[in-house]
Amino acid sequence: MIRWSASRIRNGKVVARESDIQDALLAHMRRRKIFCWEDCQPKQVGGKRVGSTKGVSDLHAIYLGWPMAVEVKRPEGQLSVAQFNWLTEFRAEGGIAIVCTSVEDFERQIQDLRIRPRGAC
């Protein structure tokens, strides 16, 4: 569940920040006992971004033995070219790559995958 505050109301409408959605997804995955973590935010050194690859997804997990990358977006959000390319490469290497806008969206996509635990016959 996302917690709202008055600072997230714009033009009379409640607006979720990506960080709110990300926090809700992390909490949900942890409740489901999915091993997960968030990408460390890069640092600015001398005006340059260091410490992370451009486009790396917000959340990472191991789901039924499979590596998973989760990019978190607000419902109206769009992937950058770097994010799209990173998720495409992650998928090509055998990982599960999804873009989620809510906990419900995450659950729907997980159900749609219909994957079996890695190593299952």
Q: Is residue 13 part of a domain?
A: no
CA distances from residue 17 to 1, 20, 59, 65, 96 in whole angstroms, order as listed? 13, 5, 15, 30, 24
Model confidence over 6-65: pLDDT tens digits? 446 666 666 778 999 999 999 999 999 999 999 876 566 666 666 668 899 999 999 999
Nearest to 21 by CA among 105, 108, 112: 105
CATH number of the domain residue 88 falls in:
3.40.1350.10
Please report which confidence band the pLDDT of residue 117 belongs to, taking 50, 70 and 90 as the band edges: confident
Q: Is residue 36 part of a domain?
A: yes
> Global pTM?
0.79
Q: Give the pLDDT score at 4.
A: 47
Range of the domain at 77: 30-113
